[in-house]
Structure 1
């Protein structure tokens, strides 16, 4: 396939190049520029803007339905849950996101059917169920539920929000269980969260020994632990225990950013979800009072990005959208454009996210040898970042060298 005529933004931060040509063979980019081989299928992208396929480093495909109906009242059938997840997968891909990292909610069942082409969707890397402590963030049962009942709400092959893990031995066992279900990394919640019923943002969760047990299991498989963290006390313990990525990081200051840089710990801010919850948490199927729990998380994450950037921390990008209305995944890039600039937002959601996910040898930039995961916009997102969040402006999506959306 010969892609011709587009303005190419290659994901490295280099200036856009007009009227660029790409050759795609066997699912990979084999040449940038040059002349088309005889018989090549020509895809004319004149007047359009071509970027690497977008990557969302923090999604919850398993939470694609009304949250209370999934976790508390249990009103939805397995068929409804699956239908909502499949629709979210398609919607995510057609919004230009060719790869996602699911940080709690699905297992290899969803990832497998998407990879097999049975359901349209992005490439899915996942952690399986989150490792959460009893009563901690990640446990969404009602106050009157028994924690023992939580494990019974999993639907193997489809949905498993979290595994309650208390003590190093239980953490170790559940880490192994997550890997058995196809996890490519582990996630733990080391502080309270915004979408929680039984904790505060200031709470710390898991001990050093518990976190270290998960890190040992991850390292034994050549991978890493990422942690949900909204305060630096819990985060500091996690970094000492050897985790390599932080989700949210809404309290990261200059001192913590320096520690993270020294230890090679990445940061994945999640701005879109807190803006959405502040506007209307009920649209995600959550109580109205959840919005009040956001507190200073928006300003905190904004400051964290600036501190982390100054310290040289690898910074990714995640939307963290939950519930049935995950149509604005691209809003994360719009918000990040306002904090830094549109080019940095794009690089973060392509090259740098690929580095966070440890797949930068395969995706994230436009260069020979990389998989042909490409997103084509109808207008220049660098001139108008709102384009990032407009699926109608995503004219073409190519995944593994195959056109999966074309509305030119």
Structure 2
């Protein structure tokens, strides 16, 4: 199998260690074989070289909270489902072009599993990798998915979603901004119910993300040992201390209350709640960083909004390096996929970005797609700038042809 090498760039490996100047990344079979200085790695004459001299190579960004599709309770209508699927492919392709190589479809549920499989098997190309989360929600609660109340019905719901192919669970521990009838401080589930959900998910190796803005519901989620708290827009010191003590990940989704996002909100009650949360949200992230809380990236936004989230992190006091680690290594760890992606290390998938400008000097350069010269997933160049288009195969390819035989009585 032919080898590839990215040569000449400064490597920001996602672990937080010092950048490696004039580095080489050797790739084979979609995996990283070696990483080191140019004079440490011997390249054979048949190795395909990608010249990134003067540029910066980093892991692809991971967004752990995107509504790639509507909620999983989409009507069972083939026309609607086809439209949802086409829209999903478009969003995942745009995400990839923006430098986001893995996206969690946070509310997709079983209908999204087939798209995830199609991407993994090569039937749909040039898309960001997708992880499918199934939603378990309380009756009348904030999120919409598999309605379940009480510990045993909740356990059944998790089992159903696992058997349908979902690899992650999302739930809501508190209400939110969206629905007029709800109040943000309302808990959605009791601690007993959340504990049953997390216990069942952990038995199936499914990480659990809990929508929680603060108050009692957030504490219930922490006590239940969810893997990560998403949002925390109204989080207080007690909530931050609880997350820290439990060693959980905080995924603040600052994009949800960002000025640009709020300006587009039409419902007056939602806009009012988001505007009120804006300073509290950012103060919470700033405190979390100073406390040493594990921070990961999710946006509750769309294609490429992860790059805005990185800038929001820096505005809250994280260094550009801290922000990149949050959006790569930490998010992979929160999603239990750090063995495959998130850093540039031997044995990992070659999901990589080549950047024309130094993001450690200015994290905002990642918001401009013109600065993203090349995006690679599984060792395959997926999209490039004009400058590096020589490395992009213009031909469409797909998985090996399969002959499906159907026995028919004649």
> 2:298 and 2:192 mapped to 1: Cα distance?
28
Aligned counterpart, 2:192: 209
Q: 2:81 aligns with which of 57, 67, 78?
A: 78
Taking a change above 3 Å as real, the CA distance of residues 97 and 86 of structure 1, as seen in their structure-2 partners, is same
> 2:244 and 2:365 mapped to 1: Cα distance?
32
Taking a change above 3 Å as real, the CA distance of residues 281 and 260 of structure 1, as seen in their structure-2 partners, is same
Per-residue CA shift, 1:175-211, capped at 9, x if unaligned?
1121122222211111111223431111111112211
Aligned counterpart, 1:147: none
The correspondence of residues 286-301 of structure 1 with structure 2, limited to 5 A, is 287=267, 289-301=269-281
Normalising to structure 1: TM-score of the pair?
0.85
> 1:105 and 1:198 mapped to 2: Cα distance?
24
Aligned counterpart, 1:134: 139
Q: 1:307 aligns with which of 283, 287, 291?
A: 287
> 2:22 and 2:291 mapped to 1: Cα distance?
37
Q: 2:148 aligns with which of 142, 161, 165?
A: 165
How far 1:316 sits from its partner (Å)?
0.3
> 1:123 and 1:327 mapped to 2: Cα distance?
14
> 1:384 and 1:364 mapped to 2: Cα distance?
21
Per-residue CA shift, 1:301-320, capped at 9, x if unaligned?
32222332333322101111
Aligned counterpart, 2:47: 40
Kindly indicate whether the alpha-carbon contact (under 8 Å) linking 1:252 and 1:307 is maintained by their aligned counterparts in 2.
no
Taking a change above 3 Å as real, the CA distance of residues 355 and 327 of structure 1, as seen in their structure-2 partners, is closer
Kindly indicate whether the alpha-carbon contact (under 8 Å) linking 2:207 and 2:336 is maintained by their aligned counterparts in 1.
no
The correspondence of residues 46-85 of structure 1 with structure 2, limited to 5 A, is 46-63=53-70, 77-85=80-88
Larger radius of gyration: 2
Aligned counterpart, 1:330: 307
Structural RMSD (CA): 2.2
How far 1:364 sits from its partner (Å)?
1.2
Q: Which moved more, 1:78-87 or 1:297-306?
A: 297-306
> 2:268 and 2:80 mapped to 1: Cα distance?
25
Per-residue CA shift, 1:231-255, capped at 9, x if unaligned?
2210111222232210011233333
Aligned counterpart, 1:180: 163
Taking a change above 3 Å as real, the CA distance of residues 81 and 101 of structure 1, as seen in their structure-2 partners, is closer
> 1:86 and 1:93 mapped to 2: Cα distance?
11
Normalising to structure 2: TM-score of the pair?
0.85
- Other structure's SS at 1:171 match: helix
> 2:207 and 2:297 mapped to 1: Cα distance?
18
Kindly indicate whether the alpha-carbon contact (under 8 Å) linking 2:255 and 2:312 is maintained by their aligned counterparts in 1.
yes
Is 1:317 equivalent to 2:320 in the alignment? Answer: no
Is 1:115 equivalent to 2:93 in the alignment? Answer: no
- Other structure's SS at 1:37 match: coil
Taking a change above 3 Å as real, the CA distance of residues 296 and 289 of structure 1, as seen in their structure-2 partners, is closer
Is 1:371 equivalent to 2:354 in the alignment? Answer: no
Gaps of 5+ in 1: 140-161
Kindly indicate whether the alpha-carbon contact (under 8 Å) linking 1:138 and 1:196 is maintained by their aligned counterparts in 2.
no
> 2:323 and 2:304 mapped to 1: Cα distance?
19
Structure with more relative contact order (C-alpha pairs < 8 Å, separation 6 or more): 1
Aligned counterpart, 1:270: 253
Kindly tell me the number of residue pairs found equivalent between the two proteins: 371
Kindly indicate whether the alpha-carbon contact (under 8 Å) linking 2:26 and 2:33 is maintained by their aligned counterparts in 1.
yes
Per-residue CA shift, 1:343-376, capped at 9, x if unaligned?
1111110111111111212211112222111011
- Other structure's SS at 2:152 match: helix
Taking a change above 3 Å as real, the CA distance of residues 71 and 363 of structure 1, as seen in their structure-2 partners, is closer
- Other structure's SS at 2:178 match: coil
> 2:238 and 2:174 mapped to 1: Cα distance?
19
Kindly indicate whether the alpha-carbon contact (under 8 Å) linking 1:136 and 1:198 is maintained by their aligned counterparts in 2.
no
Is 1:15 equivalent to 2:18 in the alignment? Answer: yes
Aligned counterpart, 2:402: none
Kindly indicate whether the alpha-carbon contact (under 8 Å) linking 1:280 and 1:288 is maintained by their aligned counterparts in 2.
no
Taking a change above 3 Å as real, the CA distance of residues 39 and 297 of structure 1, as seen in their structure-2 partners, is same
- Other structure's SS at 1:61 match: coil
> 1:163 and 1:362 mapped to 2: Cα distance?
29
> 1:40 and 1:327 mapped to 2: Cα distance?
32
> 1:168 and 1:116 mapped to 2: Cα distance?
36
Kindly indicate whether the alpha-carbon contact (under 8 Å) linking 1:337 and 1:343 is maintained by their aligned counterparts in 2.
no
